[in-house]
Structure 1
Amino acid sequence: MSDDSADRGPVVEKPGEGVRAVDRALDILLAFRAGDRQLSASELLRRIDLSRPTLYRLLRTLELRGFIVASGEPQRFQLGPSVAHLAHVWTSGLDLAELSQPMMRRLWEQTGETVALLVHHGRERVCVAEMPSPQPLSFKRGVGHSESVIQGASGRAILAFVKDAASYLDGKVPPNQQPAYLEGLARIREAGYAISRDELIKGAVAMAVPFRAAGGKVMGSLVVYGPSARLDDARVQQIVALLLDASRELSAKAGATTD
């Protein structure tokens, strides 16, 4: 059988077809939401306006490039390693200290207390940005200061959302105290914030919330701290509410998605 494809000439793509295909492929990827481990074709079709043949054709292309992984019978689909690669590239290119400045400035103005941004690094959390309180009685640690991630509100606000948090406790927390420590992390995870009093600095109160980047990974914590003389329980709860709002904004700017 002769091949007459050369006689027919190159296939000419109709204007707009390539852009439309890319747009539809992106719709498929963006149809996945936080908490979606796998989706069936029917579930995807309920979220995007495509015919079933077009959906399968685009899924196959995305699978070949590592953006989608298909498994099972009937097939179910999940995001693939190429998405993780892009998330890593996006996150590594972020200047979190600069990105957080508007939120930190607003917290600083609203609270009058020291505001800091800490990032998770190995078994520690490191201060990458700090705005000291202008008040005479105040506390500050300084950019570059690091502590074990198991210590303080700023550390536990991170550790509560880390996979296998128990592994961080070996050699740091006595075995008989670890169950209570892990229960405390569970309460932080449920509440979404951590508070400490007189822990790392005598007379200081710290309030911390986690912030996330692309993929939902907790990258660090946003913290406000000041003297207990100014921070009674009512004021602490007011500041926690402000921190939670700032954390949501910072997480969105860092690429995290919420649904």
Structure 2
Amino acid sequence: MQTHEKDRSSENVRAVNRALDVLLAFTRDDFELSATDLLQRVDLSRPTLYRLLYTLEAKGFIASVGEPQRFRLGPAVARLSHVWTETQDLALIAEPILRALWAETRETVALLVPQGLLRYCIAELPSPQPLVFKRGVGSSERIARGASGRAILAHMVDSGQQIEHYTEGLDIDLAKLRRELQATRERGYAVSRDELIEGAVAVAAPFFDSKGVAGSLGVFGPATRLNDRVVATWGRRVVEAAGQLSQALGVPPPLREPSHGGNRP
């Protein structure tokens, strides 16, 4: 490749990087920015910024509105977002996060998603130890029962009527459930003992996508191994892993976390 071709290629790469920096300057809170706002976020001269903005606008990635002029993301971004969302395999995205958690805890780890009044297991890695608690991919349970369900439910309900809907037909103390859901929100993870399987302990944390809570990530094991100290340790670790999955699904990390960890969109 000749020198001037290399220079042109290098300049094209720089232009792409700068254009991406402009697009990434927009957030859910700062969805509409002026040129001055953008200059505070990207390291560009004003003429270069405007050239990039007009190019991005011509391709539909930026839209300009109002007077004085302000900018926001355009319809081309929405099209790409739709394609990305529709083609994602949640279990595939979560697999390296699940496997890292499994290797660290040496307990059964699972990925669960809500559907109506239930939550379903869509991925599971059984513990390599002799005493194993597992439910299996495809298994389901009411979302109000067990740590992996309540980790989700804690971010789905905000009224007594909603809680009653999810607990209809179940022998559950609603006052106790409300306290458990509040504790789950505060510490970032849910815990259950001897609830679905005698002798089993579960620790689970919610993960999120752009629409809100999308499911939970849980660790399951026998009470002989998961004492209170281990539960607290794995709880913090599950919160961290769930946060990584949320970020992989496009949710930025929280500005402030609860004192024991957590992740909210």
Normalising by structure 1, report the TM-score: 0.72
C-alpha separation between the residues in 2 aligned to 1:120 and 1:84?
25
* Corresponding residue number in structure 1 for 2:260: none
Q: CA deviation at 1:58?
A: 4.1
Matched, 1:231 2:226: yes
Give CA deviations for 1:44-70 in whole Å, capped at 9, x if unaligned. 211112333543554455456554455
C-alpha separation between the residues in 1 aligned to 2:174 and 2:63?
38
Alignment of 1:15-34 (within 5 A): 21-33=15-27
- Over aligned residue pairs, what C-alpha RMSD do you find? 3.7
8 Å contact from structure 1 (residues 216, 256) kept in 2: no
Q: CA deviation at 1:150?
A: 3.6
Q: 1:104 aligns with which of 92, 98, 117?
A: 98
Q: 1:148 aligns with which of 133, 142, 151?
A: 142
Alignment of 1:80-95 (within 5 A): 80=74, 82-95=76-89
Q: CA deviation at 1:240?
A: 1.6
C-alpha separation between the residues in 2 aligned to 1:158 and 1:187?
13
Alignment of 1:1-259 (within 5 A): 21-33=15-27, 35-56=29-50, 58-59=52-53, 62=56, 67-68=61-62, 74=68, 76-80=70-74, 82-162=76-156, 166=159, 168-169=162-163, 171-173=165-167, 184-213=180-209, 215=210, 217-258=212-253
8 Å contact from structure 1 (residues 124, 148) kept in 2: yes
Identity %: 54
C-alpha separation between the residues in 1 aligned to 2:120 and 2:16?
40
1:143 alignment partner, SS class: coil
Q: CA deviation at 1:236?
A: 0.3
The runs of 5 or more residues in structure 2 that have no matched partner are 1-7, 256-265
C-alpha separation between the residues in 2 aligned to 1:61 and 1:183?
53
Larger Cα-atom Rg: 1
Q: CA deviation at 1:89?
A: 2.4
* Shift in alpha-carbon separation, 1:152–1:71, aligned structure 2, 3 A: farther
Give CA deviations for 1:94-143 in whole Å, capped at 9, x if unaligned. 33323333332332333232111113345432211112224444321110
Q: CA deviation at 1:239?
A: 1.1
Q: CA deviation at 1:223?
A: 0.5
C-alpha separation between the residues in 1 aligned to 2:128 and 2:163?
36
How many residue pairs match? The answer is: 242
Q: Which amino acid aligns with 2:81?
A: A
* Shift in alpha-carbon separation, 1:45–1:104, aligned structure 2, 3 A: same
C-alpha separation between the residues in 2 aligned to 1:151 and 1:181?
10
